[in-house]
Structure 1
Amino acid sequence: MGRGRTNKIRLSAEQRQHLEALSRNGHAPVKKILHARVLIMSDEGEYGQQRWNDQQIGAALGLHRNSVARIRSSFLEQGEQAALNRKPRQTPPVPQKLDGEKQAHLIAICCSPPPDGRTRWTMKLLVDELKARSIVTQIGRETVRCTLKKTNCARGKSSVTVFPNAMRHAL
């Protein structure tokens, strides 16, 4: 994969100009600049000035020759954007503790009257209530706080709706 070059890159004048501008401006992420330099050095078209092999490109840029070959093959198979940009994640690294249904339960608890002897729901009381109702097995106060902050829910206040701004705009 890394030694002999079976797939050759031939950049057009505008592709080469775009990659050179990207590698010189200094405002792009470092990996993107590095990948652009690999593509420029791999160019064997009429605008490519020096013939570099994977070993030389890797040594010049501090990469392994297999990384150079992978970037080049990504460019040939999927195009310039795939070779320069990272692939976006399909799923988040940590799944959400509270999905839509569980958030609805949390909001319903928050809008209900607080327990006896309390004037409002605290984060600890909400966490304990979620666990007591078996909505979740384990959850932290910060997760509950962030969820309530997203919904503009005020703990313990009697309001017509959880989303007061939505009602004001609807009128």
Structure 2
Amino acid sequence: MPAIKYRVTLTDDEVEMLEAMLRKGKCAARKQTRARILLKAAAGCKDAEIIEALAVSATMIHHTRQRCVEEGVEAALSDRPRPGKAPKLTDKQCAHLIATACTPPPAGHDHWTLRLLADQVVQLGFADSFSHETVRRLLKKHLKTVAGAGVVHS
């Protein structure tokens, strides 16, 4: 194994906090594993010893050491935030969808259905495909605000 690039040094308070976290056992398993890695790394254990003791990958040890040294103990214990998926419609397009739902339905229909609204979104060119379930979620999220403003009467 190559030389250890990131040397973990913990204060007495940090060691006490990590040991208390492991004693209580109330946090996520990944967080507990990272805490064990940090404690063993601070005690001077080599990566091979940590791998054997905790059954984790060398990459996980390296990343945990690196985050602890560069960003601190709290950052090393938790996951980085993930970006998530971008919404299909902009706020303006969502407002247009709600406004469409407040208009009279197309000829031959008694009322707007979720599928009709989804088809309308595609016809207007807002999205290539759009499901009725997405329309339902958007309306559920925004209709309380609109109904409170007196635009839609439910």
User: Is TM more than 0.5 here?
Assistant: yes
**Does the CA-based 8 Å contact 1:131-1:138 persist in structure 2?**
yes
Quote the residue 2:54 is aligned against: 61
What's the TM-score, normalizing by structure 2?
Answer: 0.87
Looking at structure 2, the residues matched to 143 and 66 of structure 1 have their Cα atoms a distance apart, in angstroms, of 39
Contact 1:35 1:71 (8 Å CA) reproduced? yes
Structure 1 Cα separation of the partners of residues 81 and 123 of structure 2: 38
Who is 2:138 aligned against? 147
Aligned residue in 2 for 1:40: 39
Q: What is the letter of the counterpart of residue 63 of structure 1?
A: V
Pairwise CA RMSD: 1.9
Aligned residues: 150
Query: Structure 1: 5+ residue runs without aligned partners?
Result: 45-50, 154-161
1:97 paired residue among 70, 75, 88: 88
Q: CA deviation at 1:108?
A: 1.2
Q: CA deviation at 1:166?
A: 4.8
Q: Is 1:165 the equivalent of 2:148? A: yes
Shift of 1:16: 0.4
Secondary structure in 1 matching 2:63: helix
Name the CA shift for 1:10/1:165 in 2 (closer, same or farther; >3 Å). same
Q: Output the amino acid matched with 1:17.
A: E
Q: Distance in 1 between matches of 2:5 and 2:116?
A: 65
Moved more, 73-82 or 140-149: 73-82
- Residues 45-64 of structure 1 show CA distances to partners (whole Å, capped at 9, x for unaligned) of xxxxxx42110011110112
Extract unaligned runs of 5+ from structure 2: none
TM superposition shift of 1:79: 0.6
Deviates more, 1:94-103 or 1:6-15: 6-15
Quote the Cα distance in structure 2 between the aligned partners of 1:166 and 1:59: 63
CA distance in 2, matches of 1:105, 1:166: 16
Change (3 A) 1:115 1:18: same
What amino acid maps onto 1:55 in structure 2? A
Q: Is this contact kept in 2: 1:55–1:64, CA < 8 A?
A: no
